A and B are shown apart, each in its own frame.
Chain A
């Protein structure tokens, strides 16, 4: 049986599907009775979505246009 500290240590890897079958089973067993760690999993999932959302960047039209000009000029010299 793993402790909360051991479970928390591997939560992102658990969500990534990056754990071995044995480690995954150990986490799931722990989560089956530990409500607090279930909260940790939900929050870790939320945090991953938050990171992906908030760190996104749009390319401004004028930058895109300049980079396309670069592409047009490649190989023409």
Chain B
């Protein structure tokens, strides 16, 4: 292998290996059991496009944007029926107030925290899975993976204002779905956990 090509391959390997835990975590949240395949696809695509990456500081966002697109393609390929999430009255919904008004744990001194403590990681995954990708992807990229909204806008090839609006909706939907999920699976019964 010629020297420049070998060096580029080495650089890519170091960068990609460093990013593996984060890439896998994002893929798990976006495509569940297909995460490993999605990361494999991402590595192949990223390797082929590595020559176009000008600044290594941009590498994490660059490789993540490839992953996000791979995951979105997989989501479309699975042709999953669009999740039926009601967005009626979503703008007015406040989980904080809902918990206070419904008071599911009357003997609690820390009602709101006790509400959150009913949820395990599996429950949170189930709640997130109910959100349409349109809202779920920016929500996760910003609040779990810590990307700036501008970076997410570039990854999703969407205007910043659109991403901010989807984030706003995503947060509201997340709050609403937490409550609805808790009601449906019986997390609101005192002492259930």
Contacts and interface: CB of A to CB of B under 8 A. Distances in A.
Interface band, chain B: 35 or more
Interface stretch (B37-45, B52-60, B71-79, B81-89): B37-45
Chain A interface secondary structure, helix, strand, loop or mixed?
helix
Nearest to B145: A52
Interface in B49-68: none
Given A46-B113, A75-B5, 6 more contacts: A46-B116, A50-B124, A51-B124, A52-B144, A55-B144, A57-B25
B20 A56 contact: no
Contacts of A52: 143-144
Contacts of B149: 16, 18
Interface of B: 1, 5, 9, 12-13, 16-17, 20-21, 24-25, 28-29, 35-36, 39-40, 43-44, 47, 91-92, 94-97, 100, 112-113, 116, 119-121, 124-125, 128, 139-140, 143-144, 149, 164, 167-168, 171, 174-175
